[in-house]
Structure 1
Amino acid sequence: MTEQVLDRVSGYERWFNTLFEEYFDTLSVGLGAPSFSRFTPECLRLLRELSLRGGKRMRVVLLHEAARLVTEEPVEGLEAAALSVELLQTHGLVHDDLIDDSPTRRGGPSTYYAYRERFPARPQAALGLTVLAGDLALALSLRVLLEAKVPVAVRQAMIEVQTRAAADTFVGQIVDLERDFAAAPGEEVLHCVADYKSARYSVLAPLQLGLLAAGEQPALFEKELREYARLVGICGQMRDDYLDLFGDASVMGKPTGTDIRDGKHSYTVSVLLAAVDDAERRVVEAALGDPSCLTETIAAVREIGERRGVPGRMQADMRRCAEQATEVAAGWRSRWREEAVTFFEHLPLWSVNRTR
């Protein structure tokens, strides 16, 4: 991406981080919780800390760039839409960490582990409060749209987009867990999980919300928007899975091998198991699903993958997917602003080349 685009992306991030902080500053007043409750303010504090603690804000970037497809003028409704997509993301992080039993998130304790530390003798209460914290973030993501200062028809359409995105994400979480019960899920299963669990709320919904805010009717272009989002989502998930084994832990700020230890049948694991011989398979399968798997064992699995050409195969798959997404976006030139279309053409390859 050009320096101009990168500056614009950085501007969205700064703008939104300020907006998000201001939102949480006023949230406790607007929530209307009983005055005696101590748990409600604590829940809001945990949601605030998680929400403001990092994140690339790419959903916010997509939202704004989608509006720029239609117009370069300021667009009403983007603030509410941005808050909505990031609150839905917060919901997903809270529940993901509960499902995965993850102690940390974005350099701090996960909401689940914060509650576990708060209530060491009440594990069921810690679990319940974590679920409710995630549910509250979801409800808030819809409420900000209900309060958006946009025409009623636009507001209703935005709520429909986010409600559908949330439901698709829940289905994605279910089939993600189901995938790991299969001995060898096929590529289409992996693509379907990436689409439902990630692409629909992280790419498609911001695209639709940005277009709606700018006065466009995304339903008229449903098929191509869905295809673009699906391909970008698959690229992103492939890259996440690739970095989990072949990435640089010092750059990513987290250890590699998490998917192996968790027993996840990721894109990387799928390609790896298809490439190894019997002796190597025994090494990989012994590590797969072993939470106490040593760093040395992960390094051995990585070395097997490198010897078998797994990184090159995955990079080729990612690039092919990215090129297909770029081709879809190129078809928008006759309809929308060329500068904004160029951003969406470049985005898939950026996703493939990122290092964290």
Structure 2
Amino acid sequence: MIDSTAAGIRERLAEHRAGFDVRFAAYFDALAQRPLPCSDFVPECLGLLRDLSLRGGKRLRVALLHEAAGLVTADTPAGLDEAGLSIELLQTHGLVHDDIIDDSPTRRGGPSVHHAYRQRLPNTPHTALGLAVLAGDLAAFLSVQVLLEAKVPAALRLAMAEVQLATGADTVIGQILDLERDFHHLPDRAMLDAVSDHKTARYSVLAPLRLGLLAAGEDIAAHDARLRRYATLVGISGTLRDDYLDLFGDPEVLGKPAGSDLREGRRTYAVCAVLAAATPTERDTVEEALAAPDCPPDTVDAVRRIALRHGVDDRLREDILGTARAAAAEAASWRPHWRADAVAFFEHLPLWGAERTR
């Protein structure tokens, strides 16, 4: 029986993470033993990808993958390990390229791949940039290769690879939409939801669900509509929560200063809600913060006070919880199709996510 309480969900996530991290390290160790060209740069690239990949991460996608297989069977089907590696390698690809786009110096408590190369090659920044791009590309291609090398029937290998290739394309589209969004003064809800769906839901929720069910022998085409509904709702709720915490969360708990979205000029759900509620004078304050990468904590506090004055925090919490409840209701409708105790995990996961503090 799956424990679907908040503590039970945290315990299961930690269990999945611990087991996967051992397999992920072993994958990179084996990769380093493969014949490589006579090169210093290639092993260095693999080392940077290994370091970033193993340096933290909740492994929520890996947990969803295993729990999705559990909807069909209590056993651990072949192909799950490779699917988990594939999901996390695609995540590594996304992190490398996100940090290039955002010019982020750090990631997961260490240097980003781009900045590691810039430190290594300070006199040739164009080469450092090129190597970082190629490192991200390599992680993406490895995410498909690992599936095609899985010791499962050829039809399953192909089906899983098709899922990941489509997911990779959707994620890149999501990144493009994410950049486009910030060129709009006040993006509408449809655009905000499209960014969340493509950049988060499809590869963080939908792909693990599809891959886990495929490995368990399920016909995912028969269930795709319900999987998409659930993934979209979980993605929106999670993105709303991230945006809320960036403005209203406790920096000590988050492990980073508040207001990073403002400093990066990101017109997120939370920032757009403040802009929509603000008076013209207040809106000028928010716009100034969005245009200032080095805006001080006092400016972030001023934007937060504007949000609180207009009840933006309460409306965001209502939106987060309402979307999470809709996701839970969608998962509850799965009971006639899959194992009831496994469905309970997916019912409670969005509600747990709606209350998280980091």
Q: For the superposition of Structure 1 and Structure 2, which TM-score range results when normalised by the shorter chain?
A: over 0.9
SS at match of 1:70: coil
Measured after TM superposition, the shift of residue 280 of structure 1 is 1.2
Alignment of 1:276-287 (within 5 A): 276-287=278-289
Contact 1:264–1:289 (CA<8 Å) still a contact in 2? Answer: no
Alignment of 1:235-314 (within 5 A): 235-314=237-316
Seq. identity, %:
58
Residue 40 of structure 1 is aligned with which of 29, 39, 42?
A: 42
TM-score with structure 1 length normalisation?
Answer: 0.98
Report runs of 4+ in structure 1 exceeding 6 Å deviation. Answer: none
Measured after TM superposition, the shift of residue 277 of structure 1 is 1.1
Aligned length: 354
Measured after TM superposition, the shift of residue 5 of structure 1 is 4.1
Describe the superposition over 1:216-242 as per-residue Cα deviations: whole angstroms up to 9, x where unpaired. Answer: 011111111011101101111111111
Measured after TM superposition, the shift of residue 20 of structure 1 is 0.5
Measured after TM superposition, the shift of residue 9 of structure 1 is 2.3
Q: What CA RMSD, in Å, does the superposition of the two structures yield over aligned residues?
A: 1.0
Structure 2 residue aligned with 1:23: 27
Measured after TM superposition, the shift of residue 305 of structure 1 is 1.0
- Once residues 281 and 163 of structure 1 are traced to their aligned partners in structure 2, the CA distance between those partners, rounded to angstroms, is 41
TM-score with structure 2 length normalisation?
Answer: 0.97
Structure 2 residue aligned with 1:117: 119
Describe the superposition over 1:74-112 as per-residue Cα deviations: whole angstroms up to 9, x where unpaired. Answer: 211110000000000000000000001111111111111
Structure 2 residue aligned with 1:12: 16
Measured after TM superposition, the shift of residue 7 of structure 1 is 2.8
- Once residues 5 and 272 of structure 1 are traced to their aligned partners in structure 2, the CA distance between those partners, rounded to angstroms, is 33
Describe the superposition over 1:174-212 as per-residue Cα deviations: whole angstroms up to 9, x where unpaired. Answer: 111111111111001100010001110110000000000
Residue 93 of structure 1 is aligned with which of 71, 92, 95?
A: 95
Unpaired stretches in structure 2, ≥5 consecutive residues: none
Could you tell me which amino acid in structure 2 is paired with residue 212 of structure 1? L
SS at match of 1:133: helix
- Once residues 181 and 8 of structure 2 are traced to their aligned partners in structure 1, the CA distance between those partners, rounded to angstroms, is 41
- Once residues 289 and 65 of structure 2 are traced to their aligned partners in structure 1, the CA distance between those partners, rounded to angstroms, is 40
Structure 2 residue aligned with 1:69: 71
Measured after TM superposition, the shift of residue 62 of structure 1 is 0.2
Measured after TM superposition, the shift of residue 29 of structure 1 is 2.0
Residue 175 of structure 1 is aligned with which of 174, 177, 180?
A: 177
Contact 1:195–1:230 (CA<8 Å) still a contact in 2? Answer: yes
Describe the superposition over 1:1-41 as per-residue Cα deviations: whole angstroms up to 9, x where unpaired. Answer: 434443332211110010011111111222x3212x10111
Measured after TM superposition, the shift of residue 317 of structure 1 is 0.7
